[in-house]
Amino acid sequence: MSLSWLQIVRLGLVQLCIGAVVVLTTSTLNRLMVVELALPAMLSGALVALHSFVQITRPSWGFWSDAKGNRTRFIVGGMAILSLGAFLASVAVALGIAGQGVGLALSVVAYLLIGIGAGACGTALLALLATATEPRRRAAAATITWLMMIFGIAVTSGVIGALLDPYTPARLMVIVTVVTVGAVLVTALAIWGIERRVMAEREPDATPLWQGLGEVWAERKSRVFTIFIFLSMSAFFLQELILEPYAGLVFGFSPGQSTSLSGAQHGGMFVGMLAVGIAVSGFRLGTLKLWVTAGCLGSAVCLAAIAALGQMGIGLLVPAVTVLGVFNGMFAIASIGAMMQLAGEGRAGREGTRMGVWGASQAIAQGLGGFAGAAFVDVLRMRADAPVAFGLVFVFEAALFLAAAMMAWRIIDGGTLRRVTAQLVPGE
pLDDT in tens, 196-207: 887 666 666 667
Query: What is the length of the chain?
Result: 428
Q: Which residue has the higher pLDDT, 273 or 346?
A: 273
Q: Evaluate if residue 339 carries a pLDDT over 70.
A: yes
25-34, 174-183, 278-287, range with the lowest pLDDT: 278-287
- Residue at 141 is within a domain: yes
Mean pLDDT of 328-354: 79
Q: How confident is the model at residue 422 (pLDDT cuts 50, 70, 90)?
A: very low
Query: What are 37-94's pLDDT values in tens digits?
Result: 888 878 888 898 888 789 888 999 888 888 877 899 999 999 999 999 999 999 999 9
- Residue at 181 is within a domain: yes
Q: How confident is the model at residue 347 (pLDDT cuts 50, 70, 90)?
A: confident
Backbone Cα Rg of the chain: 20
- Residue at 426 is within a domain: no
How many CB atoms lie under 10 A from the CB of residue 262? 28
- Residue at 311 is within a domain: yes
**Measuring CA to CA, how many Å separate 257 from each of 254, 263, 307, 386, 419?**
5, 10, 19, 19, 46
pLDDT > 70: what percent of the chain?
Answer: 92
Handedness of CA 140, 144, 146, 150 (dihedral sign): positive
CATH no. for residue 411? Answer: 1.20.1250.20
pLDDT at 206: 65
- Residue at 184 is within a domain: yes
**Measuring CA to CA, how many Å separate 427 from each of 163, 224, 230, 354?**
55, 12, 20, 19
- Residue at 288 is within a domain: yes
176-213: string of b/e by CB count within 10 Å (b at 16+)?
Answer: beebbeebbebbeebbeebbeebbeeeeeeebeeeebb
279-284-287-292 Cα dihedral, nearest 10 degrees: 10
- Residue at 242 is within a domain: yes
CA distance 412 to 419: 9
Phi, psi of 59 (to 5 degrees): -55, -35
Q: Which residue has the higher pLDDT, 1 or 408?
A: 408
- Residue at 73 is within a domain: yes
Domain hosting residue 17, numbered range:
5-199+209-417
Q: Evaluate if residue 426 carries a pLDDT over 50.
A: no
Please state the domain count of the chain: 1
How many CB atoms lie under 10 A from the CB of residue 146? 24
Query: What are 282-297's pLDDT values in tens digits?
Result: 777 877 788 889 999 9
Identify which of 5-9, 31-35, 185-189 has the greatest average pLDDT: 185-189
Mean pLDDT of 401-426: 63
Q: Evaluate if residue 386 carries a pLDDT over 80.
A: yes
Mean pLDDT of 298-303: 96
Q: Are 259 and 318 in contact (CB under 8 A)?
A: no
Q: Evaluate if residue 268 carries a pLDDT over 50.
A: yes
